[in-house]
Structure 1
Amino acid sequence: MTTTQSRNDLYLEVQQYYARQTHMLDAPDLEGYSNTFTEDAEFVHSAGRPPARTRAGILADLVDFHRRFEEDPMKRRHHFSMIDLVPLADGSIRSTFYALVVITRPGQGPELRASCVVRDVLVREDGELRNRSRVVEID
């Protein structure tokens, strides 16, 4: 039986997980970010890019994707909101939320780069949350 307290605890845990995860992505600590996925995870994040599969594949995909930003002094910030969690019978958690990606450059104001719906499946490994899958749908 799910109680209000257990749902609140889960919601807070997932929010904290997402905070750590997005801080790594925005740092960018791509290896740390990729380690928030399971070994057999799948990650779909940009139109036209094939899904990245496995933790190593996700890291390689992110390194390749971020090369285009190497000479750009911009800072990227991912903002997650409206998180909807559904605990599933197998113990995994379906999470659907909105994400805004905001960029800034020195001397310029913020620019909204993307608005997205993100669909995750979260699982526990050794007591820690990890993504088994993430699909980002850009509006």
Structure 2
Amino acid sequence: MKTTPELELADVKKIAAAAEAEALRHQWAVTIAIVDAGGHPLWLQRLDGAAPVSAHIAPAKARTAALGRRESKVYEDIINNGRTSFLSAPEIEGLLEGGVPILQGGQCLGAVGVSGVKSTEDAQIAKAGIAALEL
């Protein structure tokens, strides 16, 4: 039997605060979503000015990154490189860059998904949030 670490509320708040700080530093209006390893929601924060649709996209990106245990950009690249049949994969909706898994010692603890600006900037915000954990 394995013992696996999990995110606690203090960790989630730390990630959210760092991600928000990164977004505000660049004046990016985004939604930040944090999920556990099973893709279940732990946090959703829509910054002032973020488009309403971003509150649907950010959690989908986070869920995709958590369930796949890899950045959602991997799936975007698969599709962009011609494997469009991957669009039919079950339970995977956030197929755009901006979902980043939270990994520790080879274990996925959850993921952060961000939506609202360019996909590379979404990923930048997510990674800034995760970096606050100093894993």
TM-score range, shorter chain: under 0.3
Higher relative contact order (CA 8 A, sep 6+): 2
Give the number of the structure whose residues are more often strand, by fraction: 1
Q: TM-score, normalised by structure 2?
A: 0.28
Structure index of larger Rg: 1
Give the number of the structure whose residues are more often helix, by fraction: 2
